[in-house]
Amino acid sequence: MTLDPARTPFPDGFLWGASTAAHQIEGNNVNSDWWRKEHDPAAKIQEPSLDACDSYHRWEQDMDVLAELGFTDYRFSVEWARIEPARGHFSRAEIAHYRRMVEGAIARGLRPMVTLHHFTIPQWFEDLGGFTAEGAVELFARYVEECAPIIAEGVPYVCTLNEPNMIAVMAGLAKRGEQGFPPAGLPFPDEETTHAVIAAHHAAVKAVRSINPDIQVGWTIANQVYQAVPGAEEVTAAYRHPREDVFIEAACGDDWIGVQSYTRTKIGPEGPVPAPADAERTLTQWEYYPAAVGYAIRHTAELIGPDTPLIVTENGIATGDEQRRIDYYAGALDAVAACIEDGIDVRGYLAWSALDNYEWGTYKATFGLIAVEPGTFARKPKPAAHWLGGLGRERHLPRL
């Protein structure tokens, strides 16, 4: 499938970008809960993150490559475990590090979208009990306030928490003694965590707005594209609500909402129905389904209403087949274009992910537009990076 080159519904200022998350690319995030988990045999994590892509030191190179490819936007996260390694101790050096990243992005013509929390927390916060602990919301809000020097100027978009629904699902798993990243379909989220992260988000929105009211603040929701088997429409709606809708509804009044989707999940009268045995699957075992993002956008828009713009903040495929990666992006962008043509206010498309990175337990799920050579950390853009970056260049920047 190819995107019709004559089709250009993407509005001016559309975000053409790629996304990453600190823990997945920086390396040696030793004060985080994930680092500890990765080194706990009981957690049965396939492999630890260790040096990851060494982006903590090589972020300039990452940004150089993205800008050269033609991208205009870069979403990255700042790491709470580095910024506040001990409770109440805020590292001026780490804050300066992330400020340099913001300035480095701007200098290269990349608009920075900064995520304040992407799954990982400092170990001291985990020891306290995480988001459901007493005072947790205030502690998160204080961390956000301390990020002021990073985001106060030149950052058009801030995401408070990435995929709060996955945080609640993972908390539910942990309470049942299971670890790791949940399968598509998703176990029931922990309700206490749901309430806590929604409160944390609202407090963070307030804090960001008090830092600079011009910052567009929102959060990003994992959308599983639950599709009802005929007759199971009500079951599907009930299944979806605590896993997704409650988090979309909590974004009412935000400046934008992030849509993140990869595949679909069929729901029958008894719950999730696995994809047929002969369905094409990606390296994460998810069904190959590039149309997912279109369903995710339409569902989100319907729920949040016309006043909140949408940004696709993650979408992509784990594959070793580079033609299939391009096919996936072309199919997905076709779906995004159709949503815009139907009048939905979609403001951007950020691919997941800029780099092959640490996919929460494994390096084998290669989502990257750019390959990273193990050991040397050399960056090598893949064909999809040139294809997608080219779209950014052609459709966004004036031709010379």
- 367 forms part of the interface with ligand FCB (CB under 6 A): yes
Nearer to ligand FCB, 81 or 340 (CB): 81
Q: Total number of residues binding ligand FCB (CB under 6 A)?
A: 12
Contacts for 376 with CB less than 8 Å, ≥ 6 apart: none
Q: Between 361 and 389, whose beta carbon lies closer to ligand FCB?
A: 361
Q: Can you state the percent helix, strand and coil of the chain, rounding each to 5?
A: 40, 20, 40
Among 163, 190, 254, 356, binds ligand FCB (CB under 6 A): 163
Strands 370-372 and 379-381: antiparallel
Which of 159, 211 has the CB closer to ligand FCB?
Answer: 159
Question: Using the 8-state DSSP alphabet, how is residue 363 labeled?
Answer: S
Nearer to ligand FCB, 186 or 232 (CB): 186
Q: Shortest gap between Cβ of 8 and ligand FCB (angstroms)?
A: 28
Among 207, 217, 276, 265, which residue's Cα sits nearest to residue 239? 265
Site for ligand FCB in 309-348 (CB under 6 A): 314
Burial of residue 227 (CB within 10 Å: 0-12, 13-18, 19+) is: middle
- Shortest reach from residue 23's CB to ligand FCB, in Å: 8
Q: Which residue has the tokens 């480095």?
A: 104
Work out whether 352 is an interface residue with ligand FCB (CB under 6 A).
yes
Neighbours of 302 (CB within 10 A): 11
Q: Does residue 162 touch ligand FCB according to CB under 6 A? A: yes
Q: For residue 261, what are its two tokens? A: 């989707």
Among 56, 336, 359, 381, binds ligand FCB (CB under 6 A): 359
Q: How many CB atoms lie within 10 A of CB 288?
A: 18
CA angle 373, 379, 381 (to 5 degrees): 115
Secondary structure class of 160 (helix, strand, coil): strand
Question: Can residue 190 be called a binding residue for ligand FCB (CB under 6 A)?
Answer: no
* Stretch of 51-59, 225-233, 352-360, 382-390 lying at the interface with ligand FCB (CB under 6 A): 352-360
Q: Binding pattern to ligand FCB, positions 100-119, x when CB under 6 A?
A: --------------------
Contact flag: residue 219 with ligand FCB (CB under 6 A): no
Q: Of residues 3, 15, 18, 21, which one binds ligand FCB by CB under 6 A?
A: 21
Q: Which range touches ligand FCB (CB under 6 A), out of 43-51, 128-136, 140-148, 162-170?
A: 162-170
Q: Name the β-bridge partners of 258.
A: 220, 311
283, 77, 96, 374: CA torsion to nearest 10? 0
Nearest distance in Å: CB 87, ligand FCB? 25
> Interface with ligand FCB by CB under 6 A: which residues?
21, 24, 162-163, 166, 222, 260, 314, 352, 359-360, 367
